[in-house]
Amino acid sequence: MLMLGDNVFRGNLGDVTDRQREDRADAAFLVEEVPYEEASRYGVLDTNEYGEVVEVVEKPDDPPSNLVMTGFYTFTPAIFHACHLVQPSDRGEYELPDAIDLLIQSGRTIDAIRLDGWRIDVGYPEDRNRAEERLDKLEAGEEPEADDEVDEAVVDN
């Protein structure tokens, strides 16, 4: 299991681990739709007409969709072999989405589970205050609402 440290989640993380066990998938991860103009900040999924993931691209200039990886993953040991095969990206980094894409291209089973709840990527300074407000509400026993601004801007593919 891997959870990126720059995200705050309130949602169905257990669905990812449950689905991977049930399907015996080599990778399972949580995904969400974001406003299209923000998709290039993330690993973006391209799906076919059946909703199957056919490619994952890290921070593309021209995203194939607005469906992005959230930073919560489960893997089998197959990911380690894929990571060894990954070459540095144009940005000079070894990208996890490139390793996941190698799994996809080699025919491995991949499950993308839609986020039921909310996530804030606190790797961006403008989002830190939103995350703190939501966490303060949780601590006070309130249930913070999903960000209406983001929800209204989501492009449905």
Residue 151 has pLDDT above 60, yes or no: no
Residue 147 has pLDDT above 80, yes or no: no
Stretch 127-151: mean pLDDT: 73
pLDDT at 132: 83
Q: Residue 139 burial by CB count (10 A; 0-12/13-18/19+): exposed, middle or buried?
A: exposed
pLDDT at 155: 31
pLDDT at 146: 62
Cβ atoms of 140 and 134 closer than 8 Å: no
Q: Each residue of 42-61: pLDDT tens digit?
A: 999 999 888 889 999 999 99
Residue 80 has pLDDT above 50, yes or no: yes
CATH topology of domain 2-153: Spore Coat Polysaccharide Biosynthesis Protein SpsA; Chain A (3.90.550)
pLDDT at 76: 95
Q: Report the first-to-last Cα separation within the chain, whole angstroms.
A: 28
Tell me which residue of 157, 3, 153 sits closest to 67, measured CA to CA.
157
Q: What is the overall mean pLDDT for the chain?
A: 87
